[in-house]
Amino acid sequence: MSLLSIKGLVKRYPSDSGAQIDVVRIPSLLVEPGEQILLQGESGSGKSTLLNLIAGIVVADEGEIVLSGENICALSESERDAHRARSLGYVFQNFNLLNGYTSLENVELGMSFGSGVDRSYAKNLLDRVGLGNRQSYRPEQLSQGQKQRVAVARALANRPKLVLADEPTGNLDPTNAKLSLELIQSLCSENGAALILVSHDPGLDDKFERTLELAELNQAGMAGAEGRSA
Ligand code: ADP
Ligand code: MG
């Protein structure tokens, strides 16, 4: 069984003129356990919206998203929050770390809504991302690259089956971006997690088993749907 199965997924937003635009219109997409996928597309093409739909942060207008056997689209908001905490890791572009909390606490927060806090595993993850000696630092005491690595450790804290990463290297210099990408990929494969990673960086295709172009995923819906407005 696929880890993630998307069918007939539609998300609309109102445009400036007030008309509804299909931002996401994906007839079908399957993601297998452990698969690593690069998701590309122009700015504004709907990449973040798709990740947020899969995470249950944004609600679909039509279709279904089945993750680990559960159709997210049929869940209430609180059920979606619980499902996300149990099944998903999410690395946001701006990292979304909680200020006022240490690195270790930020990773533990990634556990507290899911399987429960496991301090030794949280420390283990921080070691793994090279921050064993920064456990008690708060986000404002960390560099961009270090914050990003805390965010990666937090995303893996619940041993998720799927990790979503939205332009995780966008705020990093090229050296840190490369290291960080390698770290995300190796942590996902070590943990048997599938990965959907959004990036604009050129030349990443050969580092991924599969590359998806959002415009192509959306294409079937665009054909014939003049201007994609309803
Ligand atoms: P990407 O991540 O590929 O740059 P997004 O998914 O952020 O693109 O946005 C896709 C499109 O949806 C954009 O045109 C954006 O303006 C629109 N959009 C995103 N979120 C909202 C929202 N909450 N309300 C209205 N339009 C939105
Ligand atoms: Mg985006």
Q: Is residue 146 in a domain?
A: yes
Q: Is residue 17 in a domain?
A: no
Answer whether 47 contacts ligand 1 (Cβ < 6 A): yes
CA distance 58 to 64: 13
Q: Quick check: 64 pLDDT over 70?
A: yes
Q: Which of 14, 100, 95, 97 is nearest to 61 (CA)?
A: 14
- Specify whether the CB–CB gap between 10 and 221 falls below 8 A: yes
Identify the pLDDT of residue 171: 83
State the ligand closest to the CA atom of 40: 1
pTM above threshold 0.85: yes
Q: In the sheet that 70-71 helps form, which strands lie side by side, from edge to edge?
A: 20-31, 4-14, 62-67, 70-71
What the block records as the tokens of 204 is 């990443």
Q: Is residue 16 in a domain?
A: no
CA distance 58 to 49: 7
Q: Mean pLDDT across the stretch 208-217?
A: 93
CA distance 189 to 133: 24
Identify the pLDDT of residue 203: 83
Answer whether 199 contacts ligand 1 (Cβ < 6 A): no
Domain with 206, as residue range(s), is 34-60+77-229
Q: Quick check: 206 pLDDT over 50?
A: yes
How many angstroms is it from 101 CA to the middle of ligand 1?
Answer: 30
Identify the pLDDT of residue 110: 85
How many angstroms is it from 49 CA to the middle of ligand 1?
Answer: 6
Confidence of residue 185 (pLDDT cuts 50, 70, 90): very high
- Specify whether the CB–CB gap between 38 and 19 falls below 8 A: no
Q: Quick check: 88 pLDDT over 60?
A: yes
Q: Where are the alpha helices (DSSP H) in the chain?
A: 47-54, 77-87, 103-112, 119-128, 144-156, 174-190, 214-222
Identify the pLDDT of residue 97: 95
Identify the pLDDT of residue 226: 41
Q: Domain count for the chain, please give it.
A: 1
Q: Is residue 67 in a domain?
A: no
Q: In the sheet that 88-91 helps form, which strands lie side by side, from edge to edge?
A: 88-91, 162-166, 194-198, 36-40, 210-213
In the chain, count H helices and then E strands. 7, 9
Q: Quick check: 225 pLDDT over 50?
A: no
pLDDT: which is higher, 58 or 172: 58
DSSP symbol at 57: S
Mean pLDDT taken over the chain: 91
Give the nearest ligand 1 atom to 49 CA: 6
Q: Is residue 83 in a domain?
A: yes
Q: What is the pLDDT of residues 95-154, one digit of tens each?
A: 999 999 999 999 999 898 777 899 999 999 999 999 999 999 999 999 999 999 999 999
Identify the pLDDT of residue 227: 43
How many angstroms is it from 59 CA to the middle of ligand 1?
Answer: 13
Q: Mean pLDDT across the stretch 30-45?
A: 95
CA distance 53 to 84: 11
Q: Is residue 157 in a domain?
A: yes
CATH of the domain at 124: 3.40.50.300
CA distance 88 to 158: 8
Q: Is residue 164 in a domain?
A: yes
Q: Quick check: 221 pLDDT over 70?
A: no
